[in-house]
A and B are shown apart, each in its own frame.
Chain A
Amino acid sequence: DGGITQSPKYLFRKEGQNVTLSCEQNLNHDAMYWYRQDPGQGLRLIYYSQIVNDFQKGDIAEGYSVSREKKESFPLTVTSAQKNPTAFYLCASRLDGRENAEAFFGQGTRLTVV
């Protein structure tokens, strides 16, 4: 089945720890996105990538890092510099970020700091 897969579904992080959220798609999409969702805040863009080996900061990139070494994969690392990481993280992909195209979303990763 074609789609976009996020893992894990739930993740617990200790204070001061880095954690990496996985996002994989087999839709042959060029563009991939990471969003953070907090209650009442909607979706806020963390990072996005329109092509392999290139990515841009979104509105809330501080404390996060990404890589795009393969077209299929766009992992997000939540670093210890992110002071309030508890949130629901959503990954999405689009055929091409420059054309009229819908986004496909994964099922999300819920990150909790313990």
Chain B
Amino acid sequence: SQQGEEDPQALSIQEGENATMNCSYKTSINNLQWYRQNSGRGLVHLILIRSNEREKHSGRLRVTLDTSKKSSSLLITASRAADTASYFCATDPDRGSTLGRLYFGRGTQLTVWP
């Protein structure tokens, strides 16, 4: 499989704490993306980091990318109960027959307790 794999599968924290999720992948990529999914809904794009970038910020989100280790992390600072959702990484391959595909991992289920 060329899917990204998120770690941990589930994460439970208190409001105000930081949440860190990791993603590992196998292929060479154009970019890596993070998405959020509320239960029973579609996915919503959070942030895209290109293969030549190492870190990117958006509000309370911080994403890092290490292409040498084929890994990425998503940090959510000062978590809120409304951040409770599943978070997915998606890899965008850069070559060959897989060009144009978007591969998703199994996700991390984040629960933030008030």
Cβ contact of A102, chosen from B40, B45, B104, B105, cutoff 8 A = B45
Q: Is the CB of B31 within 8 A of A100?
A: yes
Given B45, B50, B105, which contacts A103 in the complex, CB threshold below 8 Å? Answer: B45
B3 at the interface (CB under 8 A from A): yes
Let me know if B106 and A105 touch, CB within 8 A.
no
Within 8 A of B (CB), among A59-114: 59, 88, 90, 92, 94, 97-100, 102-108, 110
Query: B16 within 8 Å of A by Cβ?
Result: no
Write the nearest CB–CB distance from B52 to chain A, whole angstroms: 10
A25 within 8 A of B: no
Range class of the B interface residue count: 20 to 34
**A interface residues, how many (CB within 8 angstroms):** 31
Chain A neighbourhood of B85, CB < 8 A: none
Contacts from A to B (Cβ < 8 Å) = 6, 31, 33, 35, 40-45, 48, 50, 56, 58-59, 88, 90, 92, 94, 97-100, 102-108, 110
